[in-house]
Structure 1
Amino acid sequence: MISDLIKLILERRIASLMFYLGVCLFGLIALKDIPLSLLPNIEFPQLTIITSFPNASAEEIESIITKPISQIVGTIQGVEKVESNSKEGNSFVYLRFKNGTDMGYAILEIREKLDLIRDVLPYEASKPLVSKFDPTKKAFLEIVFNSEALGDEKNLRGFINEQIKLYFERIDGIALVEIRGGHEKEIFVEIDPKRLRAYKIQANELPQLISSNNKNFPAGHLPFGNKDLPVRLLGEFKTKNHLENLIIQSQETSYTKLGDISKITETYKTRSGFAKYNGKEAVILSLYREPGKNTVKIAEEVGLVVNQINRTYSKEIKGVISYDESIFIKESLNGLYLNLVIGAILAYFALLIILKNFESPSILLFTIPVTLLPSFLVFRSLGIGFNMMSLGGLALGIGMLFDSSNVVLSGIERNLKTKSKLNDSILAGTMEVLPSVFSATTTTIIVFLPIGFIKSTLGIIFREMALSIIITLTFSLMTAILFIPLLASYLYKYRKTVTSNIFIFKIYQEEKIIKIFHRFLSSLIKAKTLFLSTLLLLFFLSLMLIPWLTKEYMPSIDTGVISIQIELPPGSDLDSLSQFVAYLETSLLQDRSIESILTTLGGSEENLRLNPTAVAESNEAEMILQLRESRNETTKEVVERFRNRLSKFEGVKVIFEARENVLGELLSEKKSILVFDIISDELAELAETGALLKDKLLTLSGVFWVTLGSETKASEYQINYDQSKMARFGISNSQVSTFVKLSLKGLHASDLQVNGTSIAIRLGIQKGSSDSIEKIQNLQFVAPNGESVYLGQFINISKRAVDTNIFRIANQRVNHVRIGFDEEVDQLKKEIQTLINRYAEKSEIKIRSGDENEKLGDSFREVLLSFLLALFLIFMLLSGQFESYLTSFVMLATIPLIFIGTIPALLISGKSLNISSFMGFILLLGVVVDNATLYFEYFHLFLKESTDPEKALLKATSTVLKPILMNNSTTILGMLPILFSISKGSEFQAPLGIVVVFGLLTSVILSLFVIPILFLIIEKRKSSSFVP
């Protein structure tokens, strides 16, 4: 069937060429529609349930919110783990589901379960928000705005919200524009307590009064001619004057106005957090893209809009793009193009040297577009975009694009010497190598199939990389079998005899090399026992080097970004935090290695809604330092310098970390951090054990910092009611609670809509009337009977230390111990583990390894399982193809040879055993058996012509030497750009490049001798034993 198709292609060359051009043209069209993004669209099996209950303590939150929610959602099918964090005012319940769970259905089921307990939760608590963990939906671009020209920095946020935000919302592909930082306007209704008493108005009734009156109500329809027109009752406030004129029922007079008992002003909210850029207050716009949209295209349009805004509003504001995800994507794409060009040029010169003509290498260069463009067509059909993983797969596939075509071209070249007709030579050469080409490509493809069975996040992420390799190699096989014959029929007509005066054609002297090779092979055949024993020894020696290799989840990548986590003692206000941050910023901005500093202080409910892991407390801040490209130090060295100079402050935690690359953050892996969980039901015991363990850990050399989930207690005032006294006046707990809230923080009653902008209406008792315990006790409360009573008559106020965070895993309370250490200090990890184990035994407290530590081991086990499964699949394929178990085992004998080269190469280069290098090993499984397959085909072909196995073997080696050198040289040279990480974005693949390049070098050199010797041994023993 294949031969008939090749004959048809050779007979209808113009039609065939037009067909390929048509496919490539459609591939070019599809290329324009392939979305560009940082990561593939992935559904992660994790959810977070966020519930707010303002001012409630951590213990209250745990008891009345976190526990009921955790218990009800823990019964949902597919839930693998339930964790929670209860802190003042907020409950976080983290759910992890089994991989493969339908998250859409899971969210619906969770909401149904939460509806069942809504009446159990406090009335004042917010409705539980189910937040889907999706790191691919983070803001892809952030713009920082600051101004010194608006007169008052407080106007900046309002100006951006009213004038600037709309520019970005109009851009096609922008799903959401979030504003952070700055000051938000509000209408503050400042109630005069004296007038409340004079008019005998109960303050706790005012929030409901404002809320119920600030509404429009539909009332029905009225006939008008032949139509029914809707009737609406308009009550919504249009201006501040409407609010001032709101009528309030009074016990003293028939009515009074809200403006008579309060002062209503347009002011700014008390901030719970804000943002700074390079030491100055700023407003940040975070842009979120729609799924499937082209990140690079949107980012380019955003850049144009920012420039337009800077020109139009040059006197008012200035916008700077502080983070742009598209830069990494463009660098990765440019890196791919660079790798492609350099790899193709190197491979072209290698083919010129070996083939000694210009036509054959030129034919092979055409395989790149003819393979890649149809691949893009499939990418578009399957919904695969260009992202970090698919581009990584293409970069790997490029190194192997020539392999199948090399073998086909070698077969054609060999037949050209024996056949007079060009088309006969092309057909015979292609069909001669078809089984080995099909087998070689199939073995490379099937090694990536087990990745589909990895159920962890790792498998989900790498699935797109595996798919891109499979698609590319499939088309490279089709190109080799169907397109190379067509192109050869055109170009070989003009082929000329090469003269020997061209230098590049003198390098590879095939006859001399074959003679030397035969001589050396014959010597090894005579000393085969010694040779094979030496290889076996080298193999075991290489395995002994594995313990010396660093093992990590992801390869180390210098991102040039530093994260600083700052935490002041619990209860510290935003002003104190701001002063400390300003001191740090002043010191850091003087450092020449820093380009910019983006600081987030405190937090807000808006931030938590979009990012449940965001900074949320008034005593916490995060600084993101972007380092200059031109610096002389690595990011790690800069971190070390800052850590030594700026991390030791009395009572303040300052943690410096080199920020992980995007993929490392996604997989939640930080190789320089260990996590352990202390388990106990007693909060005091958790805190005490954690503090003692922290002190012991900090004595170890190389431990930078230790943080505890439950470490310090915060002080709070607690108000107790005297129910009997309250009953005399007919006062309820809720009435007192509302009055105290109004006196301290105020209450959000409603919103005023002005020009499409919503401004909050906040009620509060007159400032200065409740800023001390004594003043609160002396506040006069209007009872339902109109009598004024002092709060101090029926409340008691006491001060108490309370826990700020309570963590739970399932039904157990835990204290998370996070340890930051120097991963380069030998044996430090073991020392930490030993210290913790000894302490646990001594104190009889249960301490277990944290989830993050277990994840590393689980992932390595899954990858190892994939490696073994791929090995078995190759064995099955080879056994089925050659109908021999023993032949398959012999072909797999080349696989251990890769460790002889790869393990020492990783050790010498300082690279680690990680996901990238493991992918290299998996890739090698499919590549290294190609040589053995080719050997087997020609050995058995020539064995039919000769009765002497050794002569048939030497003839086979002469035939396969050229295609083996061509195949492996183009693959190795194609991988060199990845090996040396010459382009940005290729650092992740550097360990993979080392494994593939040195694995192939070792495999080629040794398998050229090992495989022939093993085939010869088998052939000589066939007469004495039955081999199925």
Structure 2
Amino acid sequence: MLVAGLALGGIAAAVSLPIGLFPQTNFPRVRVTIDAGSQPAQQMMLQVTQPIEQAVRAVPGVTDVKSTTSRGNAQIIIGFAWGSDMTAATLGVNAAVAQLLPSLPASTTYTVLRMDPTVFPFMAYALTASSVSQVKLQNLAQYQIVPLLSAVPGVARVQVQGGDTAEIEVAVDPHRLAAFHLTIDDVNKAITAANALQSVGRVEDHDLLYLLLSSNALQNLANVQNIVVRGGPTGVVRLADVATVSNGVMPKYFDVSADGKQAVTVLLFQQPGSNSVQIAKAVNQALAGFSDQIPPGVHLSKWYDQSTLVLAAASSVRDAILIGVVLAAFVLLFFLRSWRITLLAFLTVPASLAAAVLVLAMLGMSFNIMTLGGLAASVGLVIDDVIVMIEHLARRTGNTPGDHESLILDAGTEFLTPLTGSSAATLIVFAPLGFLTGVTGAFFKALSITMAATLFASWLLTAFAVPLLAGRLIDFHKWHDPEADGPGWLTRTHSHLLGKIFARPALLGIAVVVLLVLGSFSFTHVQTGFIPKLDEGGFVLDYQTEPGTSLGETRREISQIEDILRADPAVESFSTRIGAGFGGDFAEPNQGDIVVRLVALGNRPAIDTVMTRIGDAIKNNVPGVDTDIHQLIGDEIGDLTGVPQPIEVKLAAADPNQLDPAALRVADALSKIAGVDSVVNGIVPAGDAYDIHVDPARAAMLGLDPVTVAASLRAELSGTVVTTLQSANQQIGVRVQLAAGSRRNIDDLSSVPIATPSGALVPLGTIARFSVVAGQPEITRQNLQQIVAVTGRITGRGIGNVIADVKTALAKPGVLGAGVTYTLGGIYQQQQIAFAGLVRVFIAALLAEFVLLLFLYERFVLVLAIMGTSLLSTTAVFTGLFLTGIELNITALMGMTMIVGIATEMAIFYVSEYALLAQTMPLREALIHAASNRLRPIAMTTLAAILTLLPL
């Protein structure tokens, strides 16, 4: 009943357990994004970034502050210690910035965002049409699709990118204004005054209370055209007399497309702890019901869905578990030749997994790549426990006369101590993982809890349920032991080798030396990495054209990249953003990204091959565009941890003017290292500016001043939204600006008319001079010190070997220059932190195993012998990685720690049998008999563990 209850509870929990890509983790980072107009980077840094840096640095718990400042924009990343209360930290940062806001330049706005996996979209759709305007597409998305999807449980927010926003454009003719002795300011005031809707009081009449409204609200384009700008005895001047009023769109400096067509994209963000698979299903159902409301000619397509990756991971884990269990069952059947014994072992696995799922639900955890991986990796260890218990029951009771159930109970009780010791040896290695910090601790904590819960459930079932079930399902007296007729090939071979080793102990020493030599050689030659590579079925292509490139020119250049993607048979679809990013943030018009979705894996090469092929095609055919191609999940982890690139060389100097030349030299040195790709020198210049310097004396002679002239220019060139028209569900802005014919290009600026207080118009060129100012580069600072970060990606080599070459290159004379220092960051820094933590975990696991063994056997000789074999087994980890070409990364180190527990578990089975036999036999005879008795279960568990892990 208990087993059935645990299994049913686990099944019920599995249905309701949230499903996501990552474990629910509090990443200790807060991002502040600031917008302060278009002021130069240096001015922005001094007036905005630096004061905010100093303010947030005082927030309790802050460990690191890093900022990037560009023209009119800044982004500040505030780091905290792992385990911090990020809700309180976010509120503290927000309060610090809000307190400082009154002292910042006018119109400065900011957003504070806590960094976690939900800051990135998990689903995205695109609306395209050939005959429907971008305004209508945006309205469809904003006013119909957004409310529809926002009501789906688990959806945090829905964001629309792309399309056009409707406006009414008032293009003022400066010469007509002058003829009527009017200014643009007069036009602005007239439009604002004409659009009035306000309460003027209340009136009681016939026992009713009426609200009095003064309503002169503008309703349509004709109302705007008929606005009276000036009136008098001689007549009225209407807006249509001095301006052209027409339907227009809001100016924008970004562009969105899907498969090369203009598009409006809809990005969905999920709530923390929600079930992405269930949300995706609900979203699909909602849109399916909405399909009949989509206008003819409009196509709605999905171009990103993170839940498919989650489902693929869950499916692969499910298949791996089933295949592994079947293979392990064949091992059991081959050695013991009993379907009943095999069935009993087969049923224990899902019961243990269900119990583990129940524990996950009780702890508030979710199904994700780490917990699912933990369940799959635990199957072999669960099978191990059942195999050794059943084999022991069969061997002890098969040829022993007496009551069947009593014999089984005695055998189960006899084996309880070695079973408990072996299970504890495996479980105990997970305890130190609870002290890991950083991204490694965040991810592997979920894995360790899952595996520990599964193994504990397995121990409970094996120790108490398996003997009872075996007593009722299997009659061992009728079971024929395959070795009853004589030792098999495996036993004979083992006995022969054991006899030779006893006769010549030096043979064992030679074998140990060979293992150590192979392990040492492999350790020094194996490549190192950080996170294992996986095929996500798509990637992101970040790009950047020359600084200052216009939106139209960037569009032309990126269309060539889109042609390459369209021609590649591995590409299924893609979505492009210019001047914006996939996460919904905005960038300069010369920057953006393309999210590429690939066809199914069976119909294309590996993703690394596709990415390399497309990258090479872009380099050869689209000069002048810098690209960086990477998979999305790894990039998201990099953004969340603040280390998006594998290589990051952070340069610092007392004189900031030394940084840019040094960055160029370092970037050149890195680009010559084998395996280093996508090198970025860290110097990000903005586009050039056109400086308009008003002569104060000349302006004063006309009754003007520089501030008034600047305000007039802003109103005439950029336009001003002076009021809005209200419709059923939106507000349409009315933008007043100079007619396009008077502001075609830079050369026309000198002839832009400026109105004087007397009503006369003077060309701007008579009171100002013009000059081109080179764009200032972005300013990067870390902990209040200016730095330049040179970054790069790695292809075809391990991080460790590449970084060794990087250090050698930086040590060459003349690369850094006098007074310039560097520190290494990026994924390499995270790798070193993770490796150091895992090494500490490994040492702690060894100490824990030592204490456990000393408690079990109370003999240092036995403990040292077991620990020696466990440590020796880890040499095979490095040899296996070297032979298969797999990197030594955090999962490999985690696996090596688990190997210590598994090897100790095997040794405990043998030593427990030896300790029992040594009470009645001479030492050598007890060693040989113990080896013979435990050979079959150890061989079975080893084969079963290998076969269950093989499908992964």
After TM superposition, the score normalised by the length of structure 1 is 0.84
Tell me, which stretches of 5 or more residues in structure 2 are unaligned? none
* Identity value in percent: 22
Asked if 1:294 corresponds to 2:275, the answer is yes
Q: Find the partner of 1:959 among 918, 933, 949.
A: 933
Q: Which residue of 1 aligns with 2:923?
A: 949
Amino acid of the residue matched to residue 343 of structure 2?
A: S
Q: Deviations over 1:308-357 (max 9, x none)?
A: 55566473212222111111111112112211211111111111122222
Amino acid of the residue matched to residue 84 of structure 1?
A: S
Displacement of 1:34: 0.9
The verdict on how the C-alpha distance between 1:821 and 1:380 changes in structure 2, with shifts beyond 3 A counting, is closer
Distance 2:25 2:198 in 1: 44
Displacement of 1:577: 0.9
Amino acid of the residue matched to residue 454 of structure 2?
A: T
Asked if structure 2 preserves the Cα contact closer than 8 Å seen for 1:690 and 1:711, the reply is no
The verdict on how the C-alpha distance between 1:209 and 1:390 changes in structure 2, with shifts beyond 3 A counting, is farther
The verdict on how the C-alpha distance between 1:425 and 1:189 changes in structure 2, with shifts beyond 3 A counting, is farther
The verdict on how the C-alpha distance between 1:845 and 1:186 changes in structure 2, with shifts beyond 3 A counting, is farther
Distance 2:203 2:865 in 1: 91
Displacement of 1:618: 0.7
Q: Secondary structure at the match of 1:894?
A: helix
Amino acid of the residue matched to residue 873 of structure 1?
A: A
Distance 1:275 1:285 in 2: 11
Q: Which residue of 1 aligns with 2:521?
A: 544
The verdict on how the C-alpha distance between 1:626 and 1:252 changes in structure 2, with shifts beyond 3 A counting, is farther
The verdict on how the C-alpha distance between 1:834 and 1:123 changes in structure 2, with shifts beyond 3 A counting, is same
Distance 1:466 1:237 in 2: 65
Q: Which residue of 1 aligns with 2:18?
A: 35
Q: Find the partner of 2:500 among 523, 542, 554.
A: 523
Q: Deviations over 1:439-481 (max 9, x none)?
A: 2222222212222211112211221111111111111111112
How many aligned residue pairs are there?
Answer: 947
Q: Which residue of 2 aligns with 1:1024?
A: none
Asked if 1:459 corresponds to 2:441, the answer is yes
Q: Which residue of 2 aligns with 1:73?
A: 56
Amino acid of the residue matched to residue 865 of structure 1?
A: R
Displacement of 1:905: 1.7
Q: Find the partner of 2:593 among 622, 627, 643.
A: 622
Amino acid of the residue matched to residue 424 of structure 1?
A: S
The verdict on how the C-alpha distance between 1:388 and 1:223 changes in structure 2, with shifts beyond 3 A counting, is farther
Displacement of 1:404: 2.1
Displacement of 1:887: 3.3
The verdict on how the C-alpha distance between 1:250 and 1:976 changes in structure 2, with shifts beyond 3 A counting, is same
Displacement of 1:784: 5.4
Which range is displaced more, 165-174 or 966-975? 165-174
The verdict on how the C-alpha distance between 1:511 and 1:577 changes in structure 2, with shifts beyond 3 A counting, is closer
Asked if 1:718 corresponds to 2:700, the answer is no
Asked if 1:914 corresponds to 2:896, the answer is no
Distance 2:485 2:70 in 1: 73
Paired residues for 1:99-498 under 5 Å: 99-125=82-108, 127-150=109-132, 152=133, 155-197=136-178, 203=184, 239-240=220-221, 261-309=242-290, 313=294, 315-416=296-397, 417-418=399-400, 420-493=402-475, 497-498=478-479
The verdict on how the C-alpha distance between 1:699 and 1:351 changes in structure 2, with shifts beyond 3 A counting, is closer
Q: Which residue of 1 aligns with 2:627?
A: 655
Distance 1:314 1:763 in 2: 33
Displacement of 1:50: 0.9
The verdict on how the C-alpha distance between 1:232 and 1:51 changes in structure 2, with shifts beyond 3 A counting, is farther
Paired residues for 1:498-509 under 5 Å: 498=479
Q: Secondary structure at the match of 2:688?
A: strand
Asked if 1:938 corresponds to 2:913, the answer is yes
Amino acid of the residue matched to residue 95 of structure 1?
A: I
Displacement of 1:941: 1.8
Asked if 1:874 corresponds to 2:849, the answer is yes
Q: Which residue of 2 aligns with 1:634?
A: 606
Q: Secondary structure at the match of 1:973?
A: helix
Which range is displaced more, 197-206 or 742-751? 197-206
Q: Deviations over 1:855-890 (max 9, x none)?
A: 222221111111111211222222233334443322
Asked if structure 1 preserves the Cα contact closer than 8 Å seen for 2:665 and 2:816, the reply is no
Q: Which residue of 2 aligns with 1:535?
A: 512
Q: Deviations over 1:623-657 (max 9, x none)?
A: 33333335554333334444444315787133253
Q: Which residue of 1 aligns with 2:817?
A: 843
The verdict on how the C-alpha distance between 1:891 and 1:770 changes in structure 2, with shifts beyond 3 A counting, is same
Asked if structure 2 preserves the Cα contact closer than 8 Å seen for 1:199 and 1:250, the reply is no
Displacement of 1:94: 1.6
Displacement of 1:484: 0.9
Which range is displaced more, 452-461 or 418-427? 418-427
Which range is displaced more, 779-788 or 399-408? 779-788
After TM superposition, the score normalised by the length of structure 2 is 0.91
Distance 1:497 1:737 in 2: 101
Distance 1:292 1:638 in 2: 34
Q: Secondary structure at the match of 1:447?
A: helix
Asked if structure 2 preserves the Cα contact closer than 8 Å seen for 1:41 and 1:136, the reply is no
Asked if structure 2 preserves the Cα contact closer than 8 Å seen for 1:554 and 1:669, the reply is no
Asked if 1:602 corresponds to 2:579, the answer is yes
Tell me, which stretches of 5 or more residues in structure 1 are unaligned? 1-16, 979-1028
Asked if 1:556 corresponds to 2:533, the answer is yes
Q: Secondary structure at the match of 1:27?
A: helix
Q: Deviations over 1:466-507 (max 9, x none)?
A: 1111111111111112221231132025x673579xxxx699
Q: Find the partner of 2:709 among 736, 754, 766.
A: 736
Paired residues for 1:580-595 under 5 Å: 580-595=557-572
Asked if structure 2 preserves the Cα contact closer than 8 Å seen for 1:142 and 1:323, the reply is yes
Amino acid of the residue matched to residue 489 of structure 1?
A: G
Which range is displaced more, 560-569 or 783-792? 783-792
Asked if structure 2 preserves the Cα contact closer than 8 Å seen for 1:891 and 1:932, the reply is yes
Distance 1:214 1:489 in 2: 89
Which range is displaced more, 75-84 or 665-674? 665-674
Displacement of 1:394: 0.7
Distance 1:435 1:868 in 2: 26
The verdict on how the C-alpha distance between 1:204 and 1:421 changes in structure 2, with shifts beyond 3 A counting, is farther
The verdict on how the C-alpha distance between 1:971 and 1:776 changes in structure 2, with shifts beyond 3 A counting, is same
Distance 1:57 1:486 in 2: 79
Amino acid of the residue matched to residue 617 of structure 1?
A: E
Which range is displaced more, 422-431 or 552-561? 552-561
The verdict on how the C-alpha distance between 1:792 and 1:443 changes in structure 2, with shifts beyond 3 A counting, is same
Displacement of 1:393: 0.8
Asked if structure 2 preserves the Cα contact closer than 8 Å seen for 1:28 and 1:373, the reply is yes
Which range is displaced more, 217-226 or 814-823? 217-226
Displacement of 1:397: 1.1
Distance 1:707 1:81 in 2: 23
Q: Secondary structure at the match of 2:389?
A: helix
Displacement of 1:237: 5.3
Displacement of 1:738: 2.5
Amino acid of the residue matched to residue 591 of structure 2?
A: E
Asked if 1:745 corresponds to 2:726, the answer is no
Distance 2:233 2:789 in 1: 59
Distance 2:422 2:196 in 1: 73
Q: Secondary structure at the match of 1:418?
A: coil
